[in-house]
Structures are given as structure tokens and as C-alpha cells.
């Protein structure tokens, strides 16, 4: 309902010419457009806020090119922003996380049209080479057509036969599994858990592994992307940024170290995981030599923003 109301409002604004007015008024501001993954299968229906149809992405980029929006590299845009020398209506394209679908679907199109792009990479699953654990668990619960799940015999605390008829209860059980797996299990144990849950829910884990739609790019794919001009930047190692000093510094350093080994340079730009940021993080980012930190707060960037 809310989306339908939004679309009506957007169409009304367009008919009234307000988009053209906004473009003129805001022409000296920087637009940073943030994307995540793209649909290789049905993941856009599973998590539409995270995955989108690649054809829609291509249409949006084509629109920017057709309308004459300058699409800049992040470094170039920030330099011009600081110098107050941005071309009118400048845009930066970014993709969070580093999903394989970005490499398979978005980057070839961007290469074809010579469009620069920044990918903020969460490096843990790049190093491990496995699908993202929490997404796999959520996808299996979303995809299954079974009404009952037996969790006995998995070595999990306080787990039992659970009904999947109630969506809220189903979501609660999924998050219990995710939290336990992330806090109490090693990576190989999480893989085994995903495999067994997949069998019990009728959603095979090996098919998810094979299709790679919940996986990130490999180190070699990141190297190739960087060699072709894609900017590979920081998004923490484990997609979390604790507020305590040791945890925050560890996440940034692990991310920098992992990506430097892959692309041959130390990344200097950062994107907060899930857009969550605290003032405690600023000092740790400066210590690591980070030049910029991007979040999800809506608005247009100006040279006066710190």
C-alpha cells in the first residue's frame, strides 16, 4: 500500500514538473546511489530491499546517461566536491557487500557503457567462499513449502519441532538459529547446519552453493574487477561494526588486510554495514586512514558535510 502511494506521489510530482525544478535547484550537490545485489533467481522476491532485477538497474543507468548526469568515480567526485568544482548533477554509483550477482549482472553492463562504480566489500565470505549464512537460513525458511520443522538432533539449545504455519513464529525460529550459529558455531559447523536444515525444509543447500545467488565475489573476481577500474572499498570484514574500540578497530583492519591482499592496494573509503554509525567510530576510521564513510541517510552531499 505504501509503495503504491509513493508511486502515485512520484508520478504527480513528475507531471507537475517538480523533478525538473529539483534537478535545477540541487544541481551542485553530489548524488551517491547505493545498490546491493541483483536477481539471479528468485532472490528479488525473497528480499526485494536487497536484490533487484538487473534489467531495472540497467534502465536506471541508461536514464542517467540519456539525461546527461555525469557519473564519476568516487575519488574524483569527492575531490571535486571538496574543491566545489562538481559538474552539475554529478552521480556516484555504489554497490554494497560484493555479491556475485554484481559481478555477473551489473558490472558487465557498466563496463559496456564505461560507467565507473564503487563496490563496498564485506570480506569474510569472500575469503571463506561460502554463501552468507544468515541469508541462507532466511531464504530456506522463506522458500520451503513444509509446515513443520524438526530441529531435534542438531545439538542446538532449546530447539524442538516447530510449526511453520505462523509467519511470526517462523521468523523468530529463523533468527534464533542465525544468532546461535553466528555466536556459537565455527564456519564449518554453520555450513553443516545449513545443509541439514536444507534437507529438513526441502531446500537443498548445494543448489544455493552452485547457483551462487547468496554468495559474494571470489578474490579472483575482485582482482579482475579492480583491474578493469572498479573501485573496491571497505564494508567491514564480518558486516558488523561494534562500538567498542577493540572490536571496531579489528573489523576495519581485518577488512583492509583482506582486500589489500586481493587487489594490491589498501582501500581508503568505507561504508557502514546496514548504514548504522556512531560517533565512537569516527576516531577509529581516521586512525585507519579512511577518507570517507558512507551511510544510508537520505539526502544530497555537500562539501560542508564532515
DSSP line for 247-266: HHHHHHHHHHHHHHHHHSS-
Which of 192, 211, 230 marks a domain boundary? 211
pLDDT at 229: 93
Higher pLDDT, 194 or 282: 194
103 and 158 belong to one structural domain = no
In the chain, the number of structural domains is 2
111 and 226 belong to one structural domain = yes
pLDDT at 158: 67
Mean pLDDT of 205-219: 96
pLDDT at 53: 95
Mean pLDDT of 180-184: 92
Question: Residue 150 corresponds to which cell in the numbers above?
Answer: 524438526
How far, in Å, CA of 164 to CA of 284, rounded?
43
Query: Burial, 235: exposed, middle or buried (Cβ in 10 Å; 0-12, 13-18, 19+)?
Result: buried
Nearest to 134 by CA among 239, 225, 39: 239
Higher pLDDT, 179 or 275: 179
Tell me, yes or no, whether 302 lies in a domain: no
174 and 281 belong to one structural domain = no
pLDDT band at 54 (very low <50, low <70, confident <90, very high): very high
Higher pLDDT, 19 or 151: 151
With contact defined as beta carbons under 8 Å apart, do 119 and 255 qualify? Answer: no
pLDDT at 305: 47
Whether 5 has a pLDDT exceeding 50, the answer reads yes
How far, in Å, CA of 41 to CA of 59, rounded?
19
248 and 123 belong to one structural domain = yes
Q: What is the pLDDT of residues 55-80, one digit of tens each?
A: 999 999 999 999 999 999 999 999 89
Whether 281 has a pLDDT exceeding 90, the answer reads no
Which of 172, 193, 211 marks a domain boundary? 211
Percent of the chain with pLDDT over 90: 65
- Record the pTM: 0.90
Lowest mean pLDDT among 157-166, 186-195, 202-211: 157-166
Lowest mean pLDDT among 80-89, 158-167, 285-294: 158-167
88 and 237 belong to one structural domain = yes
174 and 195 belong to one structural domain = yes
pLDDT band at 15 (very low <50, low <70, confident <90, very high): confident
Q: What is the pLDDT of residues 111-152, one digit of tens each?
A: 999 999 999 999 999 999 999 999 999 999 999 999 888 888
39 and 118 belong to one structural domain = yes
Higher pLDDT, 48 or 276: 48
CA 124 → CA 69, 175, 224, 250, 270, distances in Å? 35, 20, 19, 13, 16
Whether 232 has a pLDDT exceeding 90, the answer reads yes
- Containing structural domain, residue 244: 27-127+216-294
Mean pLDDT of 223-241: 95
pLDDT averaged over every residue in the chain = 89
Whether 201 has a pLDDT exceeding 70, the answer reads yes
Mean pLDDT of 78-102: 92
pLDDT at 10: 64
Amino acid at each position: 500500500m505504501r509503495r503504491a502511494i509513493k508511486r502515485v506521489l512520484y508520478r504527480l510530482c513528475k507531471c507537475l514538473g517538480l523533478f525538473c525544478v529539483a534537478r535545477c535547484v540541487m544541481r551542485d550537490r553530489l548524488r551517491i546511489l547505493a545498490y546491493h545485489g541483483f536477481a539471479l533467481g528468485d532472490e528479488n522476491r525473497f528480499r526485494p530491499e536487497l536484490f533487484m532485477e538487473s534489467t531495472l538497474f540497467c534502465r536506471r543507468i541508461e536514464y542517467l546517461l540519456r539525461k546527461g548526469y555525469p557519473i564519476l568515480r568516487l575519488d574524483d567526485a569527492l575531490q571535486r566536491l571538496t574543491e566545489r568544482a562538481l559538474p552539475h548533477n554529478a552521480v556516484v554509483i555504489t554497490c554494497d557487500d560484493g555479491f556475485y550477482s554484481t559481478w555477473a549482472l551489473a558490472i558487465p553492463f557498466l563496463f559496456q557503457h564505461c560507467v565507473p562504480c564503487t563496490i563496498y566489500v564485506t570480506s569474510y565470505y569472500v575469503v571463506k567462499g561460502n554463501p552468507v549464512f544468515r541469508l541462507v537460513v532466511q531464504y530456506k525458511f522463506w522458500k520451503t513449502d513444509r509446515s513443520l520443522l524438526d530441529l531435534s538432533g542438531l545439538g542446538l539449545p532449546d530447539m524442538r519441532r516447530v510449526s511453520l504455519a505462523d509467519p511470526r513464529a517462523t521468523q523468530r525460529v529463523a533468527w534464533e538459529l542465525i544468532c546461535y550459529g553466528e555466536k556459537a558455531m565455527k564456519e564449518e559447523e554453520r555450513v553443516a547446519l545449513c545443509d541439514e536444515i536444507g534437507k529438513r525444509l526441502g531446500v537443498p543447500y548445494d543448489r544455493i552453493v552452485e547457483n551462487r545467488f547468496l554468495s559474494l565475489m571470489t578474490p579472483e573476481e575482485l582482482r579482475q574487477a579492480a583491474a578493469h577500474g572498479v573501485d573496491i572499498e571497505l564494508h567491514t570484514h564480518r558486516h558488523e561494526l561494534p562500538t567498542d574500540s577493540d572490536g571496531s578497530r579489528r573489523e576495519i583492519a581485518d577488512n583492509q588486510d583482506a582486500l589489500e591482499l586481493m587487489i594490491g592496494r589498501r582501500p581508503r573509503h568505507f561504508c557502514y554495514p546496514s548504514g548504522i554509525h556512531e560517533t565512537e567510530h569516527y576516531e577509529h576510521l581516521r586512525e585507519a586512514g579512511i577518507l570517507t564513510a558512507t551511510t544510508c541517510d537520505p539526502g544530497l552531499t555537500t562539501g560542508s558535510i564532515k
